[in-house]
Structure 1
Amino acid sequence: MNLRLAKHLIAAALVATSLLTPFTSLSAASARIKDIVDIEGIRENQLVGYGLVVGLNGTGDSLNNSPFTKQSLQAMLERLGVNTRGENMRTANVAAVMVTANLPAFSTQGSRLDVNVAALGDAKSLQGGTLLVTPLLGADGEVYAIAQGSVTINGFKASGDAATITSGVPTTGRISSGGLIEREIGFSLGAQRSLRLALRNPDLTTARRIALSINDFIGSPAATPEDPATVRINLPYGFNGNIVDLLTDIEQLVVDTDLPAKIVIDENSGIIVMGQDVRVSTVAVAQSNLTVTIAENPTIVQPEPLSLGQTAVQPATNLQVTQTDSKLAVVPTTVSLQELVDGLNALGISPRDLIAILQAIKASGALQAEIEVL
């Protein structure tokens, strides 16, 4: 009985290990196909328009400084039957704005979308303003939506005779559901027999893994990697459904993603991001800090009595130079990312010094990674 019980315990332990190990590796660097690719035809389109915001409480454009606002106001009034040509207009309740929006994929005529509004002239605030009917154009110059409505801003500006307080950006705003779609973009996804998947992070290994995962799931060679950024899917012969059904089945498949070894450096902010595959060959690193302190301590020199001299200021400069040298540290060959970070942190290196060290290691040929400086 004890021997049989031991066999059962060993078998249970092996099953638990086999179940736990794949899950751990999957959660480390795996993602759904849905989260790492964009599907051809399923995309937004950017819209832009020029319009007028009215009803501002004296915080609009100065017509003398913004001639485009004055011309737009006169043109709008003429369309409404009011002739203001040659008149001296001094209103400060109107502001010229740029209106932007994103047209969602497969949006139907008559549905709504959110629009963003930003002042174009010298308006101080768009608070309380109303956007008049503004056509929104696509990249082809066609009108796809019309925007109108009350502008909501997140900031404010209050000023007095001697002080001004500004919170946020009062010259930008948003109109929720302020756009009305007038034209649809014709694309029949269900009628397609072939589509392309565009990888958001192009990589040859990831593209091949996506194609293999799809083919293993379907049981036929329906997916083909064309380049590091593209995988083409063909609707299999005899498939029970259209391309939408196929995409629905495969978008939940999990794929192990792969990325090249890269170090991204932002010199302005001192931010450094290193990938997990960054490796360093055997190299010795030393770093020293040089600190120069300058202090001015001027002294006042009084003239001798009855000498008719003048009081003078004699400059006195206290200059100190402090140099802190760190020990020479050896980084062994092919260390991991964690070991590299721990070793450099042990030297007490600041992020900006680390940038210079990484660039020097790269120049020596000991860094097996690409450095990208933003």
Structure 2
Amino acid sequence: MRKVTAILLAAVLVVSMTIPSIADAQVSTRIKDVAKVQGVRSNQLVGYGLVVGLNGTGDDSNKSKFTIQSIGNMLKSFGVIIDATQVKTKNVAAVMVTANLPPFAKAGDTIDITVSSMGDAKNLQGGTLLQTPLRAANGQVYAVGQGAVSTGGYVAGNGGASQRKNFPTAGNVPNGALVEREVPMSFTDKDNEKITLSLSQPDFTTANRISEAIGQNFGQIALPQDPGTVTVEIPSYYSNNLVAFIAAIEELSITPDNAAKVVINERTGTVVVGGNVTIDQVAVAQGGLTVKIGQTKNVSQPSPFSYGDTVVTTDTSVEVKEKPAGLVELPDSSSVGDVVASLNAVGATPRDIISILQAIKAAGALHAELQIM
């Protein structure tokens, strides 16, 4: 797997050598892709329920006491009184049900839900989730889930051998929850005069460019409050059509700015270098030293009639091999394309590149944040 990763990374680096400079290729993007209107958000829902109809792969009745209690409470609501000690739960599993309620979801809409076993059930495949209220953090019910569980996996085995695909103790119910209540949502200030844009990646330059792009199209109505937010006044001619105003802002193009960063994953040998990474003048040498130590066993025989003893001796040999090191000088303010091309010129492997970048950073020549995963 590591060999394949190294080969793929090497291919990416070779392709990068043909690019003069990633930093020179300024890419424009929509405001919609780098910022969102503050107040427009989803809400998490959670519930506790039962999955029935399992083929003997449910909770163990001797261990999952809460499952037995849940079955008793559910049957009691239907007017059935049972002895909890007589309940067997092999075909039933207690589960937690989670969902994300999207913004502006209306009563009657359907959303997907995730069902996860919380007991010792082995498989939820073929089960059906019974009606489960889904609550938000305030404790109120906003949706109700029910339906057949799709695990997308399986467990098969016999005689001690088994095979498993994915995780059959968790599954989904597509469109399995019915929204019962809307979440009140406001994306303007209390006077309905302003909206606030929240940047996905807070940055002073990007926030200022958003303000300038809005100003060029609608006049001086936008003001950056901090690197993460930009407030926008609502023009009077858009006061009754706020959706069209926000849509027009979202379609404006800007060139986002990002801090120089180099991300390294030492486990996989992956190196991702940002396009605006530069370095000072520095020389890099890359080579390898191999030391081989060997031992040979010899038998020493005494001379005839010397009354000596036969002994075993050890001869030790040391062999040192050093590959010719490649030396390359990286010019001042090199771009990422120059760095990649130069490191490839000395035949550096992905592992070598990681070590070289760390050394350049330690020398103070790499003008970027070095993030190691």
- TM-score of Structure 1 vs Structure 2, range by shorter chain: 0.7 to 0.9
| Match runs of 1:79-228 below 5 Å | 79-189=77-187, 192-218=192-218, 220-228=219-227
In the TM superposition, what is the alpha-carbon distance from 1:332 to its structure 2 partner?
1.4
List per-residue Cα deviations over 1:103-132 (Å, max 9, x = no partner): 111111121111111222222211110001
Distance change (3 Å), C-alpha of 1:180 and 1:350: same
Contact 2:294 2:317 in 1 (8 A): yes
In the TM superposition, what is the alpha-carbon distance from 1:248 to its structure 2 partner?
1.7
Contact 1:26 1:256 in 2 (8 A): no
TM-score (norm 2): 0.81
| Match runs of 1:261-276 below 5 Å | 261-276=260-275
List per-residue Cα deviations over 1:283-324 (Å, max 9, x = no partner): 1112344567899999xxxxxxxxxxxxxxxx9999987554
Equivalent AA in structure 2 for residue 196 of structure 1 = T
Distance change (3 Å), C-alpha of 1:259 and 1:164: same
Contact 1:189 1:243 in 2 (8 A): no
Instruction: State the distance in 2 between where 1:119 and 1:353 align.
Output: 45
Instruction: State the distance in 1 between where 2:280 and 2:147 align.
Output: 62
Query: In structure 2, which of residues 38, 41, 45 is the aligned counterpart of residue 40 of structure 1?
Result: 38
Unaligned runs of 5+ in 2: 1-22, 298-313
Equivalent AA in structure 1 for residue 332 of structure 2 = T
User: How many percent of aligned residue pairs carry the same amino acid?
Assistant: 46
**Partner in structure 1 of residue 355 of structure 2:** 356
Instruction: State the distance in 1 between where 2:24 and 2:284 align.
Output: 36
Secondary structure of 1:87 counterpart: helix
Contact 2:42 2:103 in 1 (8 A): yes
Equivalent AA in structure 2 for residue 339 of structure 1 = D
In the TM superposition, what is the alpha-carbon distance from 1:210 to its structure 2 partner?
0.6
Distance change (3 Å), C-alpha of 1:73 and 1:223: same
Instruction: State the distance in 2 between where 1:177 and 1:282 align.
Output: 58
Equivalent AA in structure 2 for residue 151 of structure 1 = V
Contact 1:282 1:334 in 2 (8 A): yes
Instruction: State the distance in 1 between where 2:100 and 2:292 align.
Output: 54
| Match runs of 1:323-362 below 5 Å | 323-362=322-361
In the TM superposition, what is the alpha-carbon distance from 1:206 to its structure 2 partner?
0.9
Instruction: State the distance in 1 between where 2:295 and 2:165 align.
Output: 40
Equivalent AA in structure 1 for residue 150 of structure 2 = T
Secondary structure of 1:109 counterpart: coil
Secondary structure of 1:344 counterpart: helix
Contact 1:113 1:180 in 2 (8 A): yes
In the TM superposition, what is the alpha-carbon distance from 1:78 to its structure 2 partner?
2.6
Larger relative CO (CA 8 A, sep 6+): 1 or 2?
2
Instruction: State the distance in 2 between where 1:316 and 1:164 align.
Output: 53
Distance change (3 Å), C-alpha of 1:241 and 1:216: farther
In the TM superposition, what is the alpha-carbon distance from 1:27 to its structure 2 partner?
7.8
Contact 1:189 1:244 in 2 (8 A): no
| Match runs of 1:260-299 below 5 Å | 260-290=259-289
**Partner in structure 2 of residue 19 of structure 1:** none
Secondary structure of 1:29 counterpart: coil
**Larger mean Cα displacement after TM superposition, 224-233 or 67-76:** 67-76
**Partner in structure 1 of residue 254 of structure 2:** 255
Equivalent AA in structure 2 for residue 215 of structure 1 = G
Instruction: State the distance in 2 between where 1:147 and 1:120 align.
Output: 17
**Larger mean Cα displacement after TM superposition, 353-362 or 283-292:** 283-292
Distance change (3 Å), C-alpha of 1:366 and 1:184: same
Unaligned runs of 5+ in 1: 1-24, 299-314
**Partner in structure 2 of residue 306 of structure 1:** none
Secondary structure of 2:105 counterpart: coil
Equivalent AA in structure 2 for residue 107 of structure 1 = A
Distance change (3 Å), C-alpha of 1:335 and 1:47: same
Query: What do you get for the CA RMSD once the two structures are aligned?
Result: 3.0
TM-score (norm 1): 0.81
In the TM superposition, what is the alpha-carbon distance from 1:69 to its structure 2 partner?
2.2
**Partner in structure 1 of residue 16 of structure 2:** none
Contact 1:97 1:119 in 2 (8 A): yes
Distance change (3 Å), C-alpha of 1:244 and 1:27: farther
